[in-house]
Structure 1
Amino acid sequence: MKKIIALLGILTLTVSCTTASTTTSNDSLKNAFKNKFYIGTAMSLPQIHGTDVKSVEIIKNQFSSIVAENCMKSMYLQPQEGQFFFNDADKFVEFGEKNKMFIIGHTLIWHSQAPDWFFVDKNGKNVSPEVLKQRMKSHITKVVSRYKGRVKGWDVVNEAIMEDGSYRKSKFYEILGEEFIPLAFKYAQEADPNAELYYNDYNEWHPGKVKTVTQLVKDFKSKGIRIDGVGMQAHVGMNTPSIDEYEKAILAYAETGVKVNITELEISALPSPWGTSANISDKVAYDEKMNPYKNGLPMDVQTTWENRYLDFFKLFLKQKNNIRRVTLWGVTDNQSWKNDFPIKGRTDYPLLFDRQYKTKPVVDKIIKLTETR
């Protein structure tokens, strides 16, 4: 009898071990991509302060990296010269540390959400190049030094190049010319020599932009200025860009010797209004046409949207040796900036979690991709 019991015990142990070995641990995005690249999301203020409780749980369970959606932009960090507001940014960084995440700071130099005072004197005139350099250095040094060793990577300069490869005619460019970009990277490197430093942009697959940004990286390297990565925002739609176009851009950036970061990914399911127009008298009808899925995506559109996400993640996995991070620009559909862009009232479905905080079926399909790639 003792022999039979012992034999049964061995059989039970064998079955248990077999069951355990076939159970996948890839039950979340962060587990699935653990040995591929960081998978991240942008965090809004309700998430940073913990009031959006359901969203916070998704972030903790699903993502290994976070980026600040707004609270680290200069207009919020330094609304008045010399007056810094760090409360929100501090909480953001503390959240990332507590949950052992790869923390990204966004963004140090950007024309769009910079305070007006940054560029003018007391009379409202453009400041001299020397004054703007001083203000840039002061801002970057104060912010980067505060989070030295804690924020692991910075979007140093954001959206400075146009699709045709020309420089955006921002105030930074108007006062300092092309010099403002390398200066920003120098100041950031001095403030934290160990943080990763990135250039970040949208429509990043346009050949003209690719040509200028890759040349920028090469120029930096030839002058001994450190740049660790190029951020490809990946605000994409159902048809544009093609996967081939996007892969060519990834390879072009990677060939300069930097890592590629996919920094603000979402896929809009709505028709693009770019390149179309409407008479003022037809505006209501036009707005309706641009907002066709108020009550959810039809099944065929849902399938096409899922396949589009899967095609992009197949590409990211194919290029995993060149990719450092893939970050979604938000958690749930109800919080996405795409809902009201560029026409107020649009209802979009661009993210991986729905308006009820439920995981969309595409997430499991993305996870399964990692098992064979």
Structure 2
Amino acid sequence: MKTADSSTGATGPVTIEKTDAEKTQLIDAAMTDWISKMMTHFKNDVHAWDVVNEPVKEDGSLRDGVVTDMAHDEFYWGKYLGKDYAVKAFKLARQYGNSTDKLFINDYNLESRLDKCDGLINYVKYIENQGATVDVIGTQMHISLTTDKAKIDQMFQKLAASGKLIKISELDIRLGTKSPTAVQLADQAAMYQYVIDSYKKYIPAAQQYGITIWGVSDNEKEHEYWLPNESPNVWDTSYKRKHAYKVVADGLAGKDVSKDFSGELQK
């Protein structure tokens, strides 16, 4: 039914209800269109893709789209295509991308909810049992100083046992303040070091895909929509290196990068 504004003659929105079968067909076609065109357009430029992002609930079960508090921009493929939506997504990404592309599945809170970690790993197994291939599991790791270190170790052990490449995909360590003390900065550096050391200890070298820090600096403009009034990164609000910077640099390099450093860049 249409509604019209008598003063302007404008026609209001039109709602056309679709059957469940029609919705499935439309959403399936939309997925094919989106992935095929994205992969084809960037085929020569991008060689690693986050194909399926945040598919698992906190208890390890799959998101099904049945939610009561959904943000206006949230969408769950599983609501329309069932649990095999990820199978199709990975098959499409492989079909239209390069055979050597690394295809990711990625989620958060895997270190705080080990049941969620198990659920993600089990979903990877399911996807592959249906004939698709997942190359990399990403663990976001938005953590704090109080995050249980024992669970961090257990998470990496579980992920390593999957046999997949493992990436820390969005690491940050919040302090609960935008004006940290020297002690808090030192503690933050120690936690960054613990995470990197644990990753390198429990993830075999052949499975280490890398570590990405979520943000660049603590400048408020960079994270006004994520962790506002916080200081989670390795540069401060003025883009000066924090205590954590050296820890991260040393951890990634596997050595003291400042030792014997002349200041000259190496070619």
Query: Aligned equivalents of 2:62 and 2:165: distance in 1?
Result: 23
Query: Aligned equivalents of 2:134 and 2:238: distance in 1?
Result: 40
Query: Aligned equivalents of 1:223 and 1:257: distance in 2?
Result: 18
- Contact 1:269–1:350 under 8 Å retained in 2: yes
Give the deviation of 1:340 after TM superposition: 5.0
Query: Aligned equivalents of 1:136 and 1:225: distance in 2?
Result: 16
Query: Aligned equivalents of 1:361 and 1:168: distance in 2?
Result: 38
In structure 2, the residue matched to 1:297 is 180
1:106-185 maps to which residues of 2 (within 5 A)?
Answer: 123=16, 125=18, 127-170=22-65, 171-185=76-90
Give the deviation of 1:172 after TM superposition: 1.6
Measured at CA, do residues 340 and 153 of structure 1 come closer, stay the same or move farther in structure 2, by a change above 3 Å? closer
- Contact 1:336–1:350 under 8 Å retained in 2: no
Give the counterpart of 2:117 among 183, 203, 210: 210
- Matched AA of 1:210: C
Q: What TM-score do the two structures reach when normalised by structure 1? A: 0.56
**1:354 and 2:201 are equivalent in the alignment:** no
Query: Aligned equivalents of 2:172 and 2:32: distance in 1?
Result: 33
| Larger CA deviation: 185-194 vs 136-145 | 185-194
1:249-264 maps to which residues of 2 (within 5 A)?
Answer: 249-264=155-170
- Matched AA of 1:352: V
- Contact 1:154–1:196 under 8 Å retained in 2: yes
- Matched AA of 2:144: G
Measured at CA, do residues 301 and 222 of structure 1 come closer, stay the same or move farther in structure 2, by a change above 3 Å? same
1:175-324 maps to which residues of 2 (within 5 A)?
Answer: 175-192=80-97, 193-205=99-111, 206-240=113-147, 242-270=148-176, 293-294=177-178, 296-318=179-201, 319=203, 321=205, 322-324=207-209
Query: Aligned equivalents of 2:102 and 2:47: distance in 1?
Result: 6
**Identical-pair percentage:** 25
Indicate the structure (1 or 2) with the bigger Cα radius of gyration.
1
Q: Deviations over 1:218-268 (max 9, x none)?
A: 22333331110111011111112x222122222222222211111111100
- Matched AA of 1:307: A
Give secondary structure in 2 for the equivalent of 1:305.
helix
Q: Name stretches of at least 5 consecutive residues in structure 2 with no aligned partner.
A: 1-13, 66-75, 257-267
In structure 2, the residue matched to 1:365 is 247
Larger helix proportion of the pair? 1
Query: Aligned equivalents of 2:243 and 2:23: distance in 1?
Result: 54
Query: Aligned equivalents of 1:307 and 1:228: distance in 2?
Result: 31
Higher RCO (CA 8 Å, separation ≥ 6 residues): 1
Give secondary structure in 2 for the equivalent of 1:333.
coil
Give secondary structure in 1 for the equivalent of 2:199.
helix
Query: Aligned equivalents of 2:233 and 2:146: distance in 1?
Result: 17
Give the deviation of 1:303 after TM superposition: 1.8
Give the deviation of 1:165 after TM superposition: 1.1
- Matched AA of 2:24: P
In structure 2, the residue matched to 1:7 is none
- Contact 1:243–1:315 under 8 Å retained in 2: no
Query: Aligned equivalents of 1:207 and 1:196: distance in 2?
Result: 25
Measured at CA, do residues 261 and 298 of structure 1 come closer, stay the same or move farther in structure 2, by a change above 3 Å? same
Q: Name stretches of at least 5 consecutive residues in structure 1 with no aligned partner.
A: 1-120, 271-292
